[in-house]
A and B are shown apart, each in its own frame.
Chain A
Amino acid sequence: MTEAMHVILIVEDDEAIQSVLRMLFEGNGFRVVIAATAARGEVAARLHKPDIIVVDLGLPDDDGVTLIARIRAWSPVPLIVLSARVSETQRVAAFDRGADDYVLKPFSAPELLARTRAMLRRHVRGALPMGVLQLGAISIDMSRRVVQTREGREVRLTPIEHRILESLVRHGDRIVTHAALIREVWGPNRDDSRALRVYIGSLRRKLEPDPSRPKHILTELGIGYRLVFPTDREHGHALH
């Protein structure tokens, strides 16, 4: 996993959390760069060309969301928000400005590490999967638009369901906000989350072994949805 040393930039003003994060990532094979303000964070991002950035939203000199937007303007580097802010609107704002994931403070170290690694893997591999996606017992051939069970039985998706699935796949296992999903599936002039929720429900019934406890299409309440691929090595990579 860590053939080359990944560089991680941490933009965080609290010293205790800085040192915890430093220990966590240095102990797991990262080179850690720390910036305590948004301004220094942006400079460090240009200077060190990090492979991934972790941003706290409450910075002393500027809002973290603004920093995210500024970095996103010139770089596709994966951005993880690490914040105690829990308001949905703020989280949606962060995602809309280009954040890729969100970890709530107080965080659990293993979870943060796992999310960081998942993000790096995906970023390295490239975004657009055009091969066959394996979701548990279901395989999805993105280019041929064919969904099959392991036994070879075809699962019929309606065109809209297919578009939703494509959109989720396109974002990898990043969160797709409701607004983004609706825009990508129905076009820009629609604002009805009800239909989306109904279609997600029917997609789950078709793709999930237990639709009421989904393992692949996860709800990020008030924000959007996230498609989770199996990532353990036994399954091989999600995309072939």
Chain B
Amino acid sequence: MFKEAIGLRSRFDIFSHFERAHARRRRSFHVALKQQSLRYGAALLVAVVCTALAYPFYPQFNVTNIAMLYLMGTVFVALRLGRGPASFLSFVNMLALDYFFIPPLFSLDVENLSYSFTLAVTLVVAFLIGNLVASIQEHRMHAQANEQRANLLYALSRELSGAPDAATMTSIAATHAREIFRSGAAVFLPGDRPVLDSAIAMRVLETGEPYMADDVYVPIGVGNRKHGLLVLYSPPAPLSAVRLQLLEAFAGQLALALERAHASDAVKEAQIAAERASLRNTLLASISHDLRTPLAAIAGAGSLIALSSTALDGDRRVTLGRLIERKAHDMTELVSNILKFSELEHKDDKLETDWHAVGELVEHSLRRNEAALSQQRIDLELPADLPLVLVEATLIVQILNNLLQNAAKYTPPGTRIGIMARVESEQLVITIEDDGPGLPCADTERLFEKFQRGRSEDSIPGAGLGLAICRAAARLHGGEIGACNRPEGGARFEVRLPVPMQMACGMEHARETDGAPA
């Protein structure tokens, strides 16, 4: 998959790339040579300085002491410039000692055999001490590098462990790499739009070996599973083996983090699936109960009417007929609620909105529920200057329907039901309240959960989906719905919808003359 994402460049490109890489290698060799010659030059300078220092004191100081001075120079060079220059300096020092301080002066000849011995010992001792010091220094630097590496990796892994997803992880890793290697760095995962050399990327992914040229490619992977590539763009100096190791360790950390992210994604998905399954079971249980009860009533009443042996008077037949009608109506509501709910659950953000007058939405809902609300007194408070709102009308009507039906179901006849709408801080606020018995549970938030009913198992039909639908519909509009008991008694539901609004007054003005819209 990744390879396809990278795509293929032409062969020509690949060749030109290898040529470039070769040139780069030659260039870096020159750079290294220059650096080396600088270090040896510096060693030579130390020899000159030692000679200059010792010269005025000769012959008051004897040759052994002067040899000590040279030795000190060697140790200094070993500390600062490393093994090679130190060895080189040992040799140069020996020659300088012989030339300037051992008779015959200004000649490499040696008069006395004991001087030859001094020279030899000086050379060997300088050589040994130089190497010893240099290797101690190397160890120390190595330890320091290791510690630094450990610190960097620790910082990276700590940050990675806090990252919520793969995208954040890759960006963290890239940032760290950029800071530490002081060059452009990027992480490529399958599916990313590639801006890198495809042939090399493929090779690195296939072999699992890093590739170093102008850019450095390191595979991100654990074992055989390759997650992607970590790429450094033109690092300022060629990477040393240690730095490359560090980069690879970086990639390793990222790979582990990515695996963890994938694993946690899988766990999350499994959790969601399990939740869905349990929801489906609850739904089935709830539906089968709530559908079976009215069905039993319908079947019973139907069979009673059909039974010719029982003489039913007109009144009884009417009662049975009404019962069938009512139960069928309950079932219809239930079924449409279930359908609506599953539709809302799977609806994404694409609302089919249009401009609507709030009053018309309320009017429509009231008319739909006229029969259910016939026992209640409806009290409407809709200001004349309510704006037009951009909403999906069926959803808002659904909210109103469910709230009104709830009010009808859960309040005794004669209850006042108030419907109010107003605009408050750029939100449309619709309130539906009653002076009935109020909400039964203290935790009103729970009412809006699926399959939650104020009172469990009672004669009032419903699957506990109504308010969950209201909440889903309100949230699809970016709004919210809440419930509370009124201090003076009864329940109050408030829907807040931060939807686009258009004040009607601008048009109202046009209306007086009918100028603009005509």
Q: Which one, B325, B360, B514, contacts A159 given CB within 8 A?
A: B514
The stretch of B73-81, B245-253, B504-512 in contact with A is B504-512
The count of residues in chain B whose C-beta lies closer than 8 Å to any C-beta of chain A is 35
Chain A residues whose C-beta falls within 8 Å of the C-beta of B426 in the assembled complex: none
Establish whether residues B359 and A186, one from each chain, have CB atoms under 8 Å apart when the complex forms: no
Residues of A within 8 A of B361 (CB): 221
Q: In the complex, are the beta carbons of A158 and B511 less than 8 A apart? A: yes
Smallest beta-carbon distance A195→chain B, Å: 5
**Do A186 and B518 have beta carbons less than 8 Å apart?**
yes
With A201-B504, A212-B359: A194-B388 Cβ-Cβ less than 8 Å? yes
Given A158-B511, A159-B514, A202-B508: A197 and B394 within 8 A (CB)? no
Contact A221 B360 (CB under 8 A): yes
In chain A between 151 and 199, which residues have their CB closer than 8 angstroms to a CB of chain B? 158-161, 186, 192-195, 197-199
**Considering the complex, which residues of chain B in the window 451-483 have a beta carbon less than 8 Å from any beta carbon of chain A?**
none
Check B192 for interface membership: any CB of A closer than 8 A: no
**Chain B hits for A143, CB < 8 A:** none
Asked if A160 and B517 make an inter-chain contact with CB atoms under 8 angstroms apart, the answer reads yes
Contact between B328 and A106 (Cβ–Cβ < 8 Å)? yes
Q: Does A24 contact B (CB under 8 A)?
A: no
Smallest beta-carbon distance B233→chain A, Å: 53
Quote the shortest CB–CB distance from A196 to chain B (angstroms). 9
CB distance from A167 to the nearest CB of B (A): 14
Please determine whether A212 and B514 come into contact, CB atoms closer than 8 angstroms. no
Please tell me if the beta carbons of B356 and A197 are within 8 angstroms of each other in the complex: yes
The residue on A at minimum CB distance from B503 is A198
Tell me which of B325, B329, B363, B508 contacts A198 (CB under 8 A).
B508
Q: Say if the beta carbon of B332 comes within 8 Å of chain A.
A: yes
Give residues of chain B (229-249) contacting chain A, Cβ–Cβ below 8 Å.
none
Interface string of A80-107 (1 = CB under 8 A from B): 0000001010000000000000000010
Q: Cβ of B508: which chain A residues have Cβ within 8 Å of it?
A: 198, 202
Q: Are A198 and B507 in contact (CB under 8 A)?
A: yes
- In the complex, chain A residues whose CB is within 8 Å of the CB of B378: 213
A28 to chain B minimum Cβ distance, whole angstroms, is 16
A218 at the interface (CB under 8 A from B): yes
> Whole-angstrom distance from the CB of B392 to the nearest CB of chain A?
9
Q: Are A159 and B518 in contact (CB under 8 A)?
A: yes
Main DSSP-derived SS at the B contact region: helix
A155 to B: closest C-beta gap in Å = 15
A117-155 vs B, Cβ < 8 Å mask (1 yes, 0 no): 000000000000000000000000000000000000000
B329's closest neighbor in chain A, by CB? A106
Residue numbers in A under 8 Å from B360 (CB-CB): 197, 200, 219, 221
- Chain B minimum-CB-distance residue to A87: B394
A50 sits at the interface (CB 8 A): no
A229 to B263, CA, bound (A): 67
Bound state CA distance, A221 and B367, in angstroms?
A: 11
Q: How far is the CA of A198 from the CA of B517 in the complex (A)?
A: 11
| A106→B332 contact, CB < 8 A | yes
- Residues of A contacting B336 in the complex (Cβ-Cβ under 8 angstroms): 86
Say if the beta carbon of A70 comes within 8 Å of chain B: no
Q: Which residues of chain A come closer than 8 Å to B363, judged between CB atoms?
A: 212-214, 218-219
Contact A200 B357, CB 8 Å, known A160-B517, A186-B517: yes
Are B357 and A197 in contact, CB atoms less than 8 angstroms apart?
yes
Q: Does A205 contact B (CB under 8 A)?
A: yes
Asked if B19 is at the interface of the complex by the 8 Å CB criterion, the answer is no
Closest to B360 in A: A219
| Any B CB within 8 A of the CB of A222 | yes
B355-A197 in contact (CB<8A): yes
**Which residues of chain B come closer than 8 Å to A212, judged between CB atoms?**
359, 362-363, 380, 382
Cα A201 to Cα B336 with chains together (Å): 31
A143 to B313, CA, bound (A): 54
A2 cross-chain contacts in B, Cβ below 8 A = none
In the bound assembly, the distance between CA atoms of A45 and B354 in angstroms comes to 38
B-side contacts of A220, CB under 8 Å: 364
**A193 CB contacts on chain B under 8 angstroms:** 354-355
* Contact assessment for A198 and B394 in the assembled complex, using a CB-CB cutoff below 8 Å: no
Is A58 close to B, CB under 8 A? Answer: no
Separation of A159 and B355 alpha carbons in the complex (Å) = 23
CA distance A221 to B364 in the complex (A): 7
Which A residues are CB-close (under 8 A) to B513? 158
Q: List 21 A-B contacts (CB under 8 A).
A: A88-B394, A106-B328, A158-B514, A159-B514, A159-B518, A160-B518, A186-B517, A193-B354, A194-B388, A197-B388, A198-B508, A199-B517, A200-B357, A201-B504, A202-B508, A213-B378, A219-B360, A219-B363, A220-B364, A221-B394, A221-B397
The 3 A-B pairs at the shortest CB distance, nearest first, are namely A219-B360, A221-B364, A198-B507
Besides A201-B359, A205-B384, A221-B360, 5 more A-B contacts (Cβ < 8 Å) are A160-B514, A195-B517, A198-B511, A200-B357, A212-B359
